[in-house]
Structure 1
Amino acid sequence: MGPSAEKKLTGLLAATFTPFTTQGEVNLVEIGPYVDYLQEKQGVNSIFVNGTTGESLSLTVAERKILAEEWCQKAKGRLDHVIVHVGCMNLKDSKELAAHAAQIGAHAIAAMAPFFFKPRTADVLRSFLQEVASAAPTLPFYYYHIPCVTGVNLPVRDVLEGIEELIPSFRGVKFSGADLMDFGYCVSNYPPHWSFLYGMDEQLLAALAMGADGAVGSTYNYAGRHFNKLISAFKDGDVVQARKIQFKMQELLCYAMKLGFDVGVNKQLMNELSGLSLGPPRLPVTPCTYADVGLIVKKYLQIFADC
């Protein structure tokens, strides 16, 4: 997708859901309307596909390839960045997906740590990431840190030590962890051309104060327009307004968590709020009752009624 691959990543990236049919098969038909919705209704112009929100580890390599191809095709000339997550539990599949992402015109790739056989040291994790990145050396590469899922709790500041010598294409981190000290250390001690993208929507404002360049998250699919206002308020020095919006999202998520909020429930919420037909989640993720989703939708509409 040309020179935009080297633009520094900033702003919001929606971590996209994977559309399924009611029978649980990948549904490519919805991706075009999905791109339209993000751009026109949410003001979100970059995406992170086949990640946690996209149920990537419940997809086959073949499914991840056809999804990545369709996202890149539908986003071409429209969205600023398409990052394809290529992390798998084994190195060969990760490298295959990385090479494929380069072939189809993705702007960048990212990989989380494998979490069945876990890397025990930062050196081992760097070696794994180096091998993945080597399969697509022309694409910017991002480390996807998500310890609540992987159980790999190595400080990111340790993982980044000397990483650009091993991975010349390294360009930053999707930091989906709560340790803002680790996050802040990375922002303040590593190159300014790297992008540090925060991945916990419920505390984005705190990350912006620590120097986050942007954010990747699931709620930006249906609440991106609100978070864009939060970012704008923060940039304008209106911390009171930025905090007001952040507190609204925290109120929504606190309510949803009492009803068992997870990827499946989040996907149902996206279906209801967007009008898209993204289907159910894939086992072992399960949907919640229609009544519970209705309650979350009602809460969302109440909280953001004045926005």
Structure 2
Amino acid sequence: MKWSKTNGLIAATLTPFHQDGSINLDIIGRYVDHLLSIGITQVFVNGTAGEHASLTVEEREAIAERWIKEGKGKLTRIIIQVGTLNLPDSQRLAAHAEAIGADGISVITPCYYATSDISSLVDYCAAVAHSAPKTPFMYYHFPAITHATFRLTDWLLAAEKKIPTLIGAKCTCLDLYDACDAANLFGGRFDVPVGADFQQLGAMAMGLPGAIGISFSLLGKAQNRMVQAYNSGDIATAQREQFKVQEFWNASGSNAGLHPMIASFKAIMKLNGLDIGSPRLPIKPLDDAKVAELSAKLKAMDFSKWIQ
């Protein structure tokens, strides 16, 4: 089992749909080429951005297979998120991801029977990881959705000896203090990419160089400029890019919750040349008036030029 710590951007991919609501596998090859064209070489598939909870197990397997087929040899890392609302389906998806050659798996804990009992969630994740014993395992910490409100640091301390394939956690949380503590456990053993992509500059300053985010399918070039500026010591340029990232999130309305975030990003993808369809209900797509309003806000911030 091989794993190097995340450095740079991993795109949390959106799931493409046809107009009739079925998944659009055929466009994934174009999606891969689009990501490569904006400097993104790593993906996180079937996560929150991918509307995993609105997909069947069979659909998730088909999506994972197509990303592996289209991305192997082009992308440097393909992580498949395999968490569901129940253990058997999560185990099935984990075994499937290993069988098709995923570089890693990730698990978000069930949110319907929400719990903050660390022991039970560690046992759950250990059972999933056991179904893919040769594949690096990344916990998906997203307390705002799962209501698993313990510190990530405490979860990793409890899981360290129970999950042999554990390599770290995706930390989708605004608590950079906890993320930094988690990344420094056991002499810096764990990989802790941040999931709040609009906090990237702050995360890098705290020693967290990796990020997994929905915005990277659009902002790959801009946020890579931020990374390069920071790494070269040009903090003023990095700050300017960070402020522009925040301007984008405010303009898109994506910071208002999951529904508007996914609907907005799918609309913006279409406005910028890659039509991956609308979200699946219960997430409603933006209506024409909201798309026009969104387009005007993006034009006002010179979005098309900025992301080049």
Structure 1 residue 194: Cα displacement: 2.6
Report the Cα distance in structure 2 between the residues aligned to 1:296 and 1:190, rounded to whole angstroms: 45
Instruction: Look up the SS of the partner of 2:207 in the other structure.
Output: coil
Which piece of structure 1 moves more, 228-237 or 295-304? 295-304
TM-score, with structure 1 as normaliser: 0.94
**Which amino acid in 2 is paired with 1:269?**
I
Identity of aligned residues (%): 37
Report the Cα distance in structure 1 between the residues aligned to 2:189 and 2:74, rounded to whole angstroms: 24
Structure 1 residue 131: Cα displacement: 0.7
1:22 aligns with 2:19: yes
Structure 1 residue 30: Cα displacement: 0.4
Mapped contact 1:174–1:197 kept (Cα < 8 A): yes
Q: 1:64 to 1:191 in 2, by over 3 A?
A: farther
Aligned residue in 1 for 2:266? 267
Report the Cα distance in structure 2 between the residues aligned to 1:138 and 1:213, rounded to whole angstroms: 26
Residue deviations 1:163-216 (CA, integer Å, cap 9, x gap): 231111111111100111111111222453432101111111111111113100
Structure 1 residue 231: Cα displacement: 0.7
Q: 1:191 to 1:25 in 2, by over 3 A?
A: farther
Structure 1 residue 14: Cα displacement: 0.5
Aligned residue in 2 for 1:95? 91
Q: 1:83 to 1:258 in 2, by over 3 A?
A: closer
Aligned residue in 2 for 1:281? 279
Structure 1 residue 219: Cα displacement: 0.6
From 125, 137, 147, give the equivalent of 1:129: 125
From 115, 131, 137, give the equivalent of 2:111: 115
Instruction: Look up the SS of the partner of 1:20 in the other structure.
Output: coil
Q: 1:124 to 1:104 in 2, by over 3 A?
A: same
Mapped contact 1:259–1:292 kept (Cα < 8 A): no
Q: 1:39 to 1:284 in 2, by over 3 A?
A: same
Mapped contact 2:86–2:110 kept (Cα < 8 A): yes
Q: 1:258 to 1:122 in 2, by over 3 A?
A: closer
Report the Cα distance in structure 2 between the residues aligned to 1:203 and 1:118, rounded to whole angstroms: 26
Report the Cα distance in structure 1 between the residues aligned to 2:43 and 2:19, rounded to whole angstroms: 24
1:208 aligns with 2:204: yes
Within a 5 Å distance, the mapping from 1:243-262 to structure 2 comes to 243-257=239-253, 261-262=260-261
Aligned residue in 2 for 1:293? 291
Report the Cα distance in structure 1 between the residues aligned to 2:191 and 2:270, rounded to whole angstroms: 30
Q: 1:186 to 1:259 in 2, by over 3 A?
A: closer
Report the Cα distance in structure 2 between the residues aligned to 1:216 and 1:7, rounded to whole angstroms: 15
Extract structure 1 runs of 4+ deviating beyond 4 A. none
Instruction: Look up the SS of the partner of 2:26 in the other structure.
Output: helix
Report the Cα distance in structure 2 between the residues aligned to 1:268 and 1:258, rounded to whole angstroms: 11
Q: 1:191 to 1:32 in 2, by over 3 A?
A: farther
| Root mean square deviation of aligned Cα | 1.7
Mapped contact 1:195–1:213 kept (Cα < 8 A): no
From 123, 131, 143, give the equivalent of 1:147: 143
Report the Cα distance in structure 2 between the residues aligned to 1:14 and 1:294, rounded to whole angstroms: 26
Structure 1 residue 36: Cα displacement: 0.2
1:173 aligns with 2:169: yes
Structure 1 residue 120: Cα displacement: 2.8
Report the Cα distance in structure 1 between the residues aligned to 2:127 and 2:254, rounded to whole angstroms: 41
Instruction: Look up the SS of the partner of 1:124 in the other structure.
Output: helix
1:39 aligns with 2:36: yes
Residue deviations 1:16-54 (CA, integer Å, cap 9, x gap): 0001000000110100000000001x1000000000000
Mapped contact 2:6–2:211 kept (Cα < 8 A): no
Report the Cα distance in structure 1 between the residues aligned to 2:95 and 2:8, rounded to whole angstroms: 27
Instruction: Look up the SS of the partner of 2:161 in the other structure.
Output: helix
Report the Cα distance in structure 2 between the residues aligned to 1:154 and 1:258, rounded to whole angstroms: 26
TM-score, with structure 2 as normaliser: 0.93
Report the Cα distance in structure 2 between the residues aligned to 1:284 and 1:110, rounded to whole angstroms: 24
Structure 1 residue 125: Cα displacement: 1.2
Structure 2 portions without partners, runs of 5+: none
Count of aligned positions = 302
Report the Cα distance in structure 2 between the residues aligned to 1:239 and 1:89, rounded to whole angstroms: 43
Aligned residue in 2 for 1:71? 67
Mapped contact 2:230–2:238 kept (Cα < 8 A): yes
Report the Cα distance in structure 1 between the residues aligned to 2:275 and 2:253, rounded to whole angstroms: 23
1:82 aligns with 2:81: no
